[in-house]
Structure 1
Amino acid sequence: MNHKNYEYLKEQLLYSGFGNGLEDSLKDNLQRQPEGFQLLFQTGMGKGRIRAELNFSRSSQSDMYFFNSYRLEIVPQGTEQRRAQLFYVNGRDRYTLKEAYNLMHGRSVFKELSNRQGDRYEAWVQLDLKTMDINGNHRFRQFHKNYGFDLQSELDRYPIRELEMPDRRQDLIDALQLGNRQPVTMELEKGETRLYLQANPQFKVLNVYDENGIRQEFLGPEKGMDLTMEKTDRKKLSTGELSEAKKKIHGRKRGLGG
């Protein structure tokens, strides 16, 4: 067995998000020296479970092995759909387990990528979960910088306490670029409120959710402006009633009463 190769692959598994629970299986396969092999990874993530098949191949010119890709499957929980997708860890574009998990839940990830000529560039990446190719994989969509979504400018529209602290601000940006639905504290008229943000570069906005996962609508860019009614309340109103309700809310924000 090539011990340097083993140590390298062990670190690659760790930094790709698969931890160190596969080390014994990895060593066993490297000692047997097959042409290629797979390792099975399972764990809980979020409110459900995931399963991944990790693909390794042997070099045609040496005893080195390469961790090439993994097929990630979301195990259904309740009404959640079963999904599977192949992600690469060698080559031009590499995805960690956390990034892959977020992509498979319809979220966007900010990545440094490369084109066929090897030139590097940055873009937001999202899976098109409505379509699949002949291999059963979803197509990747990209939103480049010139598309017009500016995460930092969008964050500054909101009264987020974490933005007042430089280290917490960067942590928030990093988490959103990873594709996380990230908790924040907003200073609203009703007081400090725990909410969750998710980057949505396709529509050049941040999605805002409450603790129950219900999406909220923010009224405006000014500090201190509150959230609108939750969806469950909005559905009870007719179009005219909803318009009138919004006028009253805006009136209160301007100190007009009502």
Structure 2
Amino acid sequence: MNQESYQFTSEQLKNLGFGEDIAKDLHTKMDQNLTEFTLNHTRQFGKDVLESVLHFSKGDDTAKDLTFFNRFDSTLKKEGMEDLTQSFFVGQKFNYTLQERYNMMDGRAVFREQPKMEPREENGVTQMKPTGETYFAWRGLNFKEADKYGNFNPKVIFWDHEKELQKYPIKDIQEKYERSRIMRPLEKGNLVEITLVRDGQETQAQVVANPRMMRLDFYDDKGQSLIVRKAEKQAMSQTEKAEMTPQEVQKAAIARAAEQAQANTPVQNQAAGAKKNEAEQKPEQGQRRRQGVHV
């Protein structure tokens, strides 16, 4: 058995979310020098169970004795629902974790970098091949379309979730750190714990991305759907923008004070001039009144 190949494949399984225990079974199979073999894996997500069959095979170069993890067939078991099965292929990069694949099978989508693909013909067969370029988008399963093997086709969606996230009354959402904390698991298709602020009251809730409907879905602590209205957007002063450094805040405050002082100067001069004219006119008016009496 190629020890380096075993170390690489076992680490790959761990990074994709299949855990460390499966490495023992992998070692046993690879030690048998099999051309092809499978491993079984089960993981529970709340009340849901995801059972997977992992497929491995030897490379064409027998001298190198390399074993590759090619794909896994997952079956989602949910209470009161018929089982759902989907095959996922594994490449050298841009792979999704088991958690993300579960989220896709459960109807959610995942946001991440993806390779651009285009059709290419090789040996009379047209296949989708990567172009070398990438892009960021949401990716889920299109449950209305399946291929000849029964696998649902992928669904790619472009949606600015960060902009949408800032429209809701989520506590501290304008702060860059808090927004990042929420966005990371949200982009994996997970339910995220948040705090809503409505009418001055804080409420614990969960939020999940719904790119298909171009919206966010909210739930209470019992899993019941919540109706959350978008907060009225209030204009922030320059000093309240989270992206500004302390030095930039200081400079902005000084510049703003200088502009206000400059704007007030003509008004003050005009007021002073008015008072002066008024003072000059008073003696003249008094003299006229005296003259009038004299006449």
Distance 1:70 1:171 in 2: 31
- 1:93 deviates by 4.4
- 1:201 deviates by 1.6
Counterpart in the other structure of 2:258: none
For normalisation by structure 1, the TM-score amounts to 0.79
Q: Per-residue CA shift, 1:101-160, capped at 9, x if unaligned?
A: 00001001012111232221111011112332221211111013xxxx211111111121
Counterpart in the other structure of 1:99: 100
Choose which of 151, 169, 183 in structure 2 pairs with 1:159.
169
Q: Secondary structure at the match of 1:11?
A: helix
Counterpart in the other structure of 1:256: none
Q: Per-residue CA shift, 1:166-225, capped at 9, x if unaligned?
A: 33321210111000121211111272111111111222211112223232222333279x
Distance 2:205 2:169 in 1: 11
Counterpart in the other structure of 2:242: none
Distance 1:168 1:5 in 2: 41
Q: Is 1:52–1:73's contact at 8 Å kept on the other side of the alignment?
A: yes
Counterpart in the other structure of 2:221: 211
Distance 1:176 1:28 in 2: 38
Match of 1:69, as an amino acid? R
Q: Is 2:168–2:229's contact at 8 Å kept on the other side of the alignment?
A: no
Q: Secondary structure at the match of 1:211?
A: coil
Distance 1:57 1:191 in 2: 57
Counterpart in the other structure of 2:19: 19
By percentage of residues, which structure has more helix?
2
Choose which of 136, 141, 147 in structure 2 pairs with 1:127.
141
How many residues get paired?
A: 219
Counterpart in the other structure of 2:160: 150
Structure 1's unaligned 5+ residue stretches are 225-258
Calculate percent identity across the aligned residue pairs.
31
RMSD: 1.9
Q: Secondary structure at the match of 1:136?
A: coil
Q: Is 2:26–2:39's contact at 8 Å kept on the other side of the alignment?
A: yes
Counterpart in the other structure of 1:57: 57
Q: Secondary structure at the match of 2:114?
A: strand
Distance 2:40 2:48 in 1: 17
- 1:32 deviates by 0.8
- 1:92 deviates by 6.2
Bigger Rg, which one: 2
Counterpart in the other structure of 1:248: none
Q: Secondary structure at the match of 1:161?
A: coil
- 1:8 deviates by 0.6
Q: Trace 1:178-189 onto structure 2 (pairs within 5 A).
A: 178-189=188-199
For normalisation by structure 2, the TM-score amounts to 0.70
Counterpart in the other structure of 1:228: none
Q: Per-residue CA shift, 1:43-71, capped at 9, x if unaligned?
A: 21122211011111100113000111111
Counterpart in the other structure of 1:71: 73
Distance 1:125 1:213 in 2: 24
Q: Secondary structure at the match of 2:31?
A: helix
Q: Is 2:109–2:209's contact at 8 Å kept on the other side of the alignment?
A: yes
- 1:81 deviates by 3.2
Q: Is 1:92–1:113's contact at 8 Å kept on the other side of the alignment?
A: no
